[in-house]
A = this chain, B = another copy of it.
Amino acid sequence: MQSFELNKTDVLRIKQALEEDDVKLQSLIAEYHASEIAILFESLPQEARERIISLLPAELASEVISEMDAEFHPERLLENLHPERRSEIIEELDYDDATDLISQLPEDQQKEILEELDEEDATNIRSLLKYEEDTAGGLMNTQVIKINENLIKKDALDEIIRQSEEMEEFYTINVVNDANILTGIVSLKDIIKARYSIKIKELIKPDFVYVKAETDQEEVAKLISQYNLTSIPVVDDHMRLLGRITFDDVIDVMQEENTEDILKISGVSEDEELAGNWREAVKSRLPWLILNLGTAFLASSVIRHFDGTIKSLGILTAYMTIIAGMGGNAATQALAVTVRRISLTDLTDAQAYRAVLKEFTVGLINGATNGFIIFLFAVFYDSNPLLGLVIFIAMTGNMIIAGVAGSSIPLVLKRLGIDPAIASSIIITTFTDVCGFLLLLGLATKLLL
């Protein structure tokens, strides 16, 4: 299996089979990997998804559902299933995935589903439902391999094999003491390599990375990425093991956080679903646009204020938009670099100061260069050197303001505990519009009239 993409022929064949009988559809679908079926689902209507899910073995059905992207609402596939079948599928899911799905459903349905499940599963899922979705607790799986530190190798191996029966994969083995406190982790490899009578206690890495249940998911992602961990144990305040978070959950979190950053910086609400319908998109973007309309009135009131200047020097209108636009672009550049940098590492005060200073310098040089080009244009095309000088100063000044604002606003927001990506290009470009108009029209009024 080299490529994961369904080609068009596959999709067509399946769509054709959907028109025919269930037996044919069933045998065709069985050829594919769960994640391929999940991708196929993205281009199928809800009825077809439900029909296919009802035909699959419970285990495969649960894998498909857990592979589906949240924005295609996998939880809706559970709604119309027969209760018995639904319980079957949910019991095949990892607890964390089951919890994520169930938490998306309305309260009364949640209750109904939990009552259908067997007691142990229901208890586990109920305890996970109480954690916030974007914390370690909301991300973790409660199925872990856990052995007592006083076991000897032979018994530990038996215990690991017994516990792993019910688990798809495990990466590290958690070691606890008699009080059920997590004392370390150990890899299967290290256990196998050790001599037969060794106590697990002697094999553990006591210097291991763990998180509390309430740790933010972004912090968890940073830890997993920084220490190259396949999984990280989650503990309560007394260091009792609650569960584990695996690297694949964290990859999803990273992609999610990156999507949110890129959307917010572009003035789109972070929870707009990329493949959502137009209603959701309007709901997510219209507030930002109306906010921008308000600030745009501010910029245009600057223009109204200098009405007389523009009347007597009409050529200013043509330059005005260039200076404002260039400032907006320079601000967007500084903003993107700063927001991305903050989201990958935390900056010290000294680093933050140097970052703003750098953007000042960059604004000065880029502004002066572009200002000089536009100065030449004013001199040779409009034959007005003094106008050229005003334009040069306005361009340089606005680009410096753009660099300083584009870098310092997200840095200040971060210090205030506000998401820096909120300093979206929408807000920052209106800011440079206002400054650009003020600089150009103000200078022109003083020097050219």
Contact = CB atoms under 8 A, between A and B. Distances in A.
Contacts of A67: 226
Number of copies: 2
Interface string A363-391: 00110011001100100000000000000
Interface string A382-426: 000000000000000000000000000000000000000000011
B278 A362 contact: yes
Contacts of A344: 255, 259, 274
Contacts of A230: 169, 171, 230, 247
A166 interface: no
A4 B321 contact: no
A337 B188 contact: no
Interface in A248-267: 248, 250-252, 254-255, 258-259, 261-263, 265-267
B314 A35 contact: no
B188 A164 contact: no
A439 interface: no
A361 B278 contact: yes
Given A1-B208, A254-B251, A274-B344, A290 B329 contact: no
Interface in A291-331: 292-293, 296-297, 299-301, 303-304, 307, 310-311, 314, 317-322, 324-326, 328-330
A321 B321 contact: yes
A39 interface: yes
**Most chain B CB inside 10 Å of its own CB: which residue of A160, A281, A366:** A281
Nearest to A425: B332
A443 B423 CA distance: 35
Interface stretch (A82-90, A110-118, A346-354): A346-354
B296 A373 contact: no
A310 B317 contact: yes
Nearest to A190: B164
A446 interface: no
Contacts of A311: 314
B188 A189 contact: yes
B336 A282 contact: no
5 contacts: A4-B209, A33-B227, A247-B248, A263-B336, A290-B373
- Shortest 5 CB-CB contacts between residues of A and residues of B: A266-B336, A228-B248, A274-B341, A300-B318, A278-B361
